[in-house]
Amino acid sequence: MKNRFVVYLVVFVMIIVSGACATIIYHMSVMDETHVVFLDIGQGDAILISHGSNQVLIDGGPDGTILLEELGTYMPFWDRTIEIVVATHPDSDHIDGLVGVFEHYHVNQLWYTNADKDTATYKKLLYNANKEKNLEKIIAFYGLQARVGDGLLKVIYPYSSDVSRIEDVNAASITALFEIGNDVFYLGGDITTEFEDKLPIDDKITILKASHHGSNTSTSKKFLQKTNPKDVIISAGVHNRYGHPHKNVLMRIYRTGAQVFRTDQFGSIEYVCNESACYRNE
């Protein structure tokens, strides 16, 4: 009986060790690639850009537990640092999940705006950020950049460091491009059509994240014609009460010939980028 227990114990340990080794081998094998993942976190936004042990997390969705599970899937288990966290604007479906990030990871930089929204969650986020040792807090606006692997993350909106006078916090969302090789990702938070149509975008967008979860307040016909994306990503929850994505937005996208990938249908959507191209990891 004792010998049988020892055998079971050895087999159990071997399974654990082999699983850990497989995980390590997988993460080591993709160290030279850049990954852009639109995380499936329900009705909200969360985007992880990573290259090896270097990560940028843009927004965190509405649920910290779900976000941490997703980060555990796409980050090496030994990596407890996120280089940059971006809070595009202080709505709960974008920042609630970020509160827990500061409790479980070390963060080097926080990019945010001074949008005027006095909520308990936003206060808690800034409180946790202020407790972080050596954290650099940066008010993000046009011109701010960060390199991730072979790619460059560029903030293109807002144009000023002071957005406190913009009444609609969605309209003050941090908006960025991630350029890598010949591909350009558009990452627009919840920015509205009034401002989105005027963004300083000169190059064709390869992958466009539809702003505001596919709401009819964004992603206009004019903007789609200007950017001409190959793929459009929509981050929305299954059967959400807002009716996102809006049928008019879907129709506008389909008329351009772009492919649509939705987190409520596909789960997390991952792109893998090397020197030559980015491709969707199916």
- pLDDT tens-place string over residues 184-235: 999 999 999 999 999 999 878 999 999 999 999 999 999 999 999 999 999 9
- Does the pLDDT at position 15 exceed 60? no
- Does the pLDDT at position 41 exceed 70? yes
Adjacency order of strands within the sheet including 175-180: 145-148, 151-157, 175-180, 183-187, 207-209, 231-234, 259-262
- Does the pLDDT at position 279 exceed 90? yes
pLDDT above 90 coverage of the chain, percent: 79
What's the CA gap between 206 and 231, in Å, rounded? 6
Query: Could you tell me the pTM of the whole model?
Result: 0.89
The predicted pLDDT at position 18 comes to 47
Q: Is 115 or 248 the better-scoring residue by pLDDT?
A: 248
- Give the number of C-alpha atoms closer than 13 A to the C-alpha of residue 100, restricted to the C-beta side: 15
- pLDDT tens-place string over residues 71-112: 999 999 999 999 999 999 999 999 999 999 999 999 999 999
- Does the pLDDT at position 27 exceed 80? no
The predicted pLDDT at position 276 comes to 84
The predicted pLDDT at position 217 comes to 95
Of 20-29, 124-133, 194-203, 252-261, give the range with the top mean pLDDT: 252-261
> What secondary structure does DSSP assign to 169-234, as a single string?
GGGG--EEEEEETTEEEEE-TT--HHHHTT----SPPSEEE-GGGG-TTS--HHHHHHH--SEEEE
The predicted pLDDT at position 260 comes to 98
- pLDDT tens-place string over residues 144-165: 999 999 999 999 999 998 888 8
Q: Are 120 and 25 in contact (CB under 8 A)?
A: no
Tell which residue, 39, 103, 33, 32, has the closest CA to residue 268: 39
Calculate the alpha carbon distances from 54 to 34, 108, 206, 224, 281 in Å: 10, 11, 23, 31, 20
For all residues of the chain together, what is the average pLDDT? 90
- Does the pLDDT at position 281 exceed 60? yes
